[in-house]
Amino acid sequence: KHWGKTNEWAVQQINEYANAETATEGWSYERWVVSFADDFTDAAKKLAVKDGVILISGKEFCKMLVSAGVGQC
């Protein structure tokens, strides 16, 4: 849970997990970072684009839940 902006460490963490799992099990994973922060740093955005990681802010995640009928923001 982050406030303000989430940095590239979140993207690196997702990449490390997915790479370790796919290497050992032969599976593939969708790489998402969901953060309660308002935004992501430029470095996080750049790395996410490079590595194919989807970044979802807290506000965007809330909207996704509402559109799925799970709650309200």
Q: Look up the pTM and report it.
A: 0.74
Write out pLDDT tens, residues 22-36. 656 666 678 899 998
For 39-66, b where at least 16 C-beta lie within 10 A, e where not — what string? bbbeebbebbeeeebebebbeeebeeee
Q: What is the pLDDT of residue 70?
A: 85
CB atoms within 10 A of CB 8: 19
